[in-house]
């Protein structure tokens, strides 16, 4: 491609993408007003819920034994080895679902353009947040760099925060900025992820954060490095307590008595 034309072409495709997103949002709004279908299986539902009863029951709920610190499902009761080795900077983290099957697919669809899924995801999140984090004074989204936000068209964490705020009556505090892009975290362990994220969050609204009990909202907890790094920045800016809620988390399948893996963790 002619490199001089590239910016114009990019802008053109960006416009088309924006229009595509607008149209799908209109279609969704029309759909909302006229009928309801399950956001997972597409079956018709009659109670106005976003996820039908069958799909709701079949979801991989994060119940059973969980680590009291990171909230991941663990093989045996107690603090997981990863948290013993490297405690998170969050005071407590919890997640509603395991990052598996339909729950993982829902998150991927939500992050890959199907923005309307924030309502289904909020439905699945509200009960746990109400139960576990009633003392939170504000919901804090995980920021994206401007470039990453432009590429996706929205910050999925902020969109979810706004919906949760409407449902729970707790304000959104969009206090942090992400100034530098970080490497993809996929193949890194907690320690390497922490290094990768070091200093990437900047708290612009320090006075709004000072002395507050905050709840960071994110979609997935893998090693917890992202919420931990953001909690660290918020605490350095004066936050009293920082909790984290993630919609899903990756189960810790390490048997007790074995040292945690430091790399190659999914």
Nearer to Zn ion, 83 or 158 (CB): 83
69 part of the interface to Zn ion, by CB under 5 A: yes
Q: Which of 59, 66, 70, 250 binds Zn ion (CB under 5 A)?
A: 70
Tell me if 124 contacts Zn ion by CB under 5 A.
no
* Minimum distance from residue 258 beta carbon to Zn ion (Å): 14
Is 244 one of the binding residues for Zn ion (CB under 5 A)?
no
Q: For residues 69 and 95, which CB has a smaller minimum distance to Zn ion in the complex?
A: 69
Burial track 139-172 (b if 16+ CB lie within 10 A, e otherwise): bbbbbbeeeeeeeeeebbbbbbbbbbbeebebeb
Q: Does 41 bind Zn ion (CB under 5 A)?
A: yes
* Residue among 23, 6, 222, 52 at smallest CA distance from 113: 23
**How many angstroms separate the CA atoms of 165 and 146, rounded?**
23
Separation of alpha carbons 258 and 234, rounded Å = 33
Give the interface segment with Zn ion, choosing from 79-87, 97-105, 148-156, 195-203 (CB under 5 A). 79-87
Closest to 167 (Cα-Cα) out of 135, 140, 136, 129 = 129
> The tokens of 236 are what?
């350095």
Nearer to Zn ion, 52 or 225 (CB): 52
157 binds Zn ion (CB under 5 A): no
> Strand locations in the chain, DSSP E?
92-98, 138-141, 176-178, 201-203, 213-221, 241-249
Using the minimum distance from each CB to Zn ion, give the nearer residue, 28 or 202.
28
Does residue 128 touch Zn ion according to CB under 5 A? no
Q: Which stretch binds Zn ion (CB under 5 A): 1-9, 37-45, 131-139, 180-188?
A: 37-45
Q: State the pairing for strand pair 213-221/138-141.
A: parallel
Q: Applying CB under 5 A, which of residues 67, 138, 203, 209 lies at the interface with Zn ion?
A: 67
Tokens 């708290």, located at residue: 203
Stretch that binds Zn ion, among 50-58, 138-146, 156-164, 166-174 (CB under 5 A): 50-58
Listed residue (103, 92, 134, 116) closest to 247, CA to CA: 103
User: Considering only residues 59, 66, 80, 175, which one is a binding residue for Zn ion as defined by CB under 5 A?
Assistant: 80
Residue among 141 and 260 whose Cβ is closer to Zn ion: 260
> What residues make contact with Zn ion under the rule CB under 5 A?
38, 40-41, 52, 55, 67, 69-70, 80, 83
């Amino acid at each position: 491609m002619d490199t001089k034309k590239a910016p114009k072409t990019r802008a053109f495709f960006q416009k088309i993408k924006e229009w595509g997103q607008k149209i799908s949002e209109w279609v969704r709004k029309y759909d909302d007003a006229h009928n309801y279908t399950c956001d997972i299986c597409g079956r018709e539902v009659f109670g106005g819920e976003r996820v039908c009863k069958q799909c709701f029951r079949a979801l991989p709920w994060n119940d059973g034994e969980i680590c009291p610190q990171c909230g991941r499902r663990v093989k045996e009761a107690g603090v997981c080895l990863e948290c013993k080795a490297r405690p998170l900077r969050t005071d407590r983290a919890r997640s509603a679902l395991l990052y598996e099957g339909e729950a993982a697919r829902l998150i991927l669809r939500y992050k890959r353009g199907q923005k309307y899924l924030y309502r289904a995801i909020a439905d699945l999140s509200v009960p746990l947040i109400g139960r576990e984090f009633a003392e939170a004074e504000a919901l804090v989204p995980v920021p994206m760099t401007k470039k990453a936000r432009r590429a996706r068209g929205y910050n999925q964490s902020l969109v979810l925060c706004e919906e949760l705020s409407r449902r729970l009556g707790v304000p959104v505090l969009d206090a942090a900025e992400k100034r530098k892009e970080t490497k993809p975290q996929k193949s890194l362990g907690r320690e390497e992820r922490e290094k990768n994220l070091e200093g990437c969050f900047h708290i612009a609204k320090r006075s709004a954060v000072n002395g507050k009990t905050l709840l960071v909202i994110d979609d997935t907890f893998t090693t917890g490095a992202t919420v931990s790094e953001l909690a660290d920045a918020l605490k350095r800016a004066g936050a009293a307590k920082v909790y984290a809620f993630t919609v899903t988390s990756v189960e810790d399948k390490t048997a007790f008595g074995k040292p945690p893996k430091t790399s190659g963790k999914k």
